[in-house]
Amino acid sequence: MNAKSKAGSRGEKKVYIAKSNQSIIKFDHKSCTGCANLKEPMCVKACRTDMLLPNPVKGKPPTVVYADECCACGCCVHACPRALKGAITMNWPLAMSVRWKRKDTGEHYRIRMPNPPPPNTKPPVSGYYPKIKRG
């Protein structure tokens, strides 16, 4: 149990919860705006396991709680309007860090490797955010 409430009885108003010290979700304090202009930060809204909490300080990145329940779906990153600027990243879970091999050189790589090759800057077909156009 991560949460503690003062009396623990029904109707209790104040609950305290342990901040996760480590998580595969990382915020960049410079480019994350905390979605200060929105009712709820987009990443918080999108989180499928509700493990991101809005920061009580407006304009600051959300706080991660219950980090061990993250299902690594990346919906929080997808939802962030500044994801491509690096405001939020999902570090690939180590146990899922797939490997690949360059066909002509035979070199081996993996996600999260030290000294990684340069990024591939090609976006998906129709871009990272294909337009939603109402007909």
Binding to other proteins (CB under 8 A) within 85-104 occurs at: 90, 92, 96, 98-104
20 is a contact residue toward ligand SF4 (CB under 6 A):
no
Q: What is the DSSP letter of 54?
A: -
84 is a contact residue toward ligand SF4 (CB under 6 A):
no
- Shortest distance, position 54 Cβ to other proteins, whole Å: 6
Which helix (H) or strand (E) covers residue 7, if one does?
Answer: none
80 is a contact residue toward ligand SF4 (CB under 6 A):
yes
39 is a contact residue toward other proteins (CB under 8 A):
no
The option from ligand SF4, other proteins, none interacting with 52 (CB < 5 to 8 A, set by class) reads ligand SF4
Cβ contact 2:68 at 8 Å:
no
Cβ contact 110:97 at 8 Å:
yes
Among 15, 71, 96, 113, binds ligand SF4 (CB under 6 A): 71
- Residues across the chain: 135
| Alpha-carbon dihedral 68, 56, 34, 111, rounded to 10 degrees | -20
Which helix (H) or strand (E) covers residue 108, if one does?
Answer: strand 108-110
User: Which residues contact ligand SF4 (rule: CB under 6 A)?
Assistant: 25, 27, 32-35, 41-43, 46-49, 51-52, 61-62, 70-76, 80, 82, 87-88, 90
